[in-house]
Amino acid sequence: MSALSNHRFLKMNGLGNEITVLDLRGSLHVVSSAEARAIAADSRSRFDQLMVLHDPVSPGTDAYLRIYNTDGTESGACGNGTRCVAWAMLADPIMSRPVHEGLVLETKAGLLPVTRVSDTVFTVDMGPPRLSWNEIPLRDPYPDTRAIAVDTHIPEHPELQSPSAVGMGNPHAIFWVENAQAYDLTAVGPKFEHDPVFPERANISFAEVVSPDHVVLRVWERGAGATRACGSAACATLVAGARKGLTGRKAKISLPGGDLLIEWRESDDHVLMTGETQLEHEGFFVPALFAGAA
Ligand SMILES: N[C@@H](CCC[C@H](N)C(=O)O)C(=O)O
């Protein structure tokens, strides 16, 4: 029987980005790719990202997070999911413990300090953007210009060329377009996600600048497909927009699921993301879910 059988989970969302939160603190179990896919396949626990809490690793942190996409692959960052985890650690009657309000979470990509703005609104310090080609990562060296633009295109859309590339603990490519609604994400997204220029694949964004402090964004997520919101993509977009002179260092990023406020702080180069979280329901994994999943 899987260690996850009968285990409690929370189904949440961050602006419609579907998040399942699982608390494995106190356990040595590491969710396998097959277990993550099985959890994603069930309608009660369906997710774009599965956020798994483990015991803290580095001194001064409150939990270590493993983040899984729908396809079972792991990511170093998920902004919307991090806000959901913070809510669970502070407000869920079972997951919350008497911790201080200023949480510090850790992922394989680094530290994520979180502060609570109101009951359901949190700010995540997503850290500094990664702008060199080997940190994003890209296949080939690119000079660090005002906005790194990578050479990728698909024949069906000759206008979609040279997206900005930014790492936010995960790889992002941003196309600057006149109308973000004009693209069929399911047709175009996977082609760019798997472009060999991105050795670890990439999250693909279509960004429409409304004004220097407002961008409309649609995102095809690596390993999860079209989602209603992607926090790290919103951060990457603001950074790339500011470097290109299209936006200021603070902007509202409007996604299909709602708005995120993003600030690229001048004093320490960190990117701050503020937005809502919502609890949908709690549940328990039925043992049959993991039949055949190692
Ligand atoms: N939705 C997330 C990003 C999730 C990770 C991504 N799909 C990846 O594999 O890089 C967010 O809110 O940041």
Q: Which of 207, 188, 196 is nearest to 151 (CA)?
A: 196
pLDDT, mean of each 10-residue run, the chain (294 residues): 93 98 97 97 97 97 98 98 97 84 93 96 98 89 61 75 92 95 94 92 97 98 98 98 96 98 98 98 94 77
**Residue 17 among known ligand-binding residues:** yes
Phi, psi for residue 67 in degrees, rounded to 5: -120, 125
Whether 78 and 172 share a structural domain: no
| Cα–Cα distance for residue pair 237/253, rounded to 1 Å | 9
| Cα–Cα distance for residue pair 86/198, rounded to 1 Å | 31
Number of domains observed in the structure of the chain: 2
Whether 107 and 173 share a structural domain: no
Whether 75 and 117 share a structural domain: yes
Query: Which atom of ligand 1 has the smallest separation from the CA of 74?
Result: 9
- Give me the CATH number covering residue 238: 3.10.310.10
Residue 142 lies in a domain: no
Whether 208 and 109 share a structural domain: no
Whether 46 and 121 share a structural domain: yes
Residue 145 lies in a domain: no
Identify which of 15, 232, 255, 276 to mutate to test ligand 1's pocket (most ligand atoms within 8 A of the CB): 232
Q: Provide the residue type at 112 as one letter.
A: L
Domain that holds residue 47: 8-126+278-290
Q: How far is the CA of 34 from the centre of ligand 1 (A)?
A: 19
Q: Is 222 in the pocket of ligand 1 (CB under 6 A)?
A: yes
Alpha helices, H only, the chain: 33-41, 79-91, 185-193, 231-244
Q: Which of 12, 78, 160, 173 is catalytic?
A: 78
Residue 60 lies in a domain: yes
Q: Say whether 230 is catalytic.
A: yes
CA end-to-end span of the chain: 10
Residue 43 lies in a domain: yes
Instruction: Give the model's pLDDT for residue 101.
Output: 72
**Residue 74 among known ligand-binding residues:** no
Residue 136 lies in a domain: no
Q: How far is the CA of 190 from the centre of ligand 1 (A)?
A: 15
Helix 79-91 vs helix 231-244: crossing angle, to nearest 10: 130
Whether 68 and 16 share a structural domain: yes
Instruction: Give the model's pLDDT for residue 148.
Output: 62
Whether 24 and 118 share a structural domain: yes
Whether 122 and 15 share a structural domain: yes
What 3-state DSSP class applies to 134? coil
Instruction: Give the model's pLDDT for residue 149.
Output: 64
Whether 180 and 109 share a structural domain: no
**pTM of the predicted model as reported, rounded to 2 decimal places:** 0.95
Instruction: Give the model's pLDDT for residue 1.
Output: 78
Q: Say whether 235 is catalytic.
A: no
**Residue 13 among known ligand-binding residues:** no
Give, using CA atoms, the residue closest to atom 2 of ligand 1. Answer: 78
Whether 31 and 118 share a structural domain: yes
Instruction: Give the model's pLDDT for residue 7.
Output: 97
The shares of helix, strand and coil residues in the chain, as percent rounded to the nearest 5, are 20, 35, 45
The number of C-alpha atoms within 13 Å of 193 and in the hemisphere containing its C-beta is 18
Cis peptide before 171 (omega within 30 of 0): no
206 near 189, Cβ under 8 Å? no
Residue 150 lies in a domain: no
Whether 114 and 179 share a structural domain: no
Residue 153 lies in a domain: no
Buried b (16+ CB within 10 A) or exposed e, 196-221: ebbeebbbbbbbbbeeeeebbbbbbb
Q: Which of 156, 167, 262, 171 is nearest to 217 (CA)?
A: 262
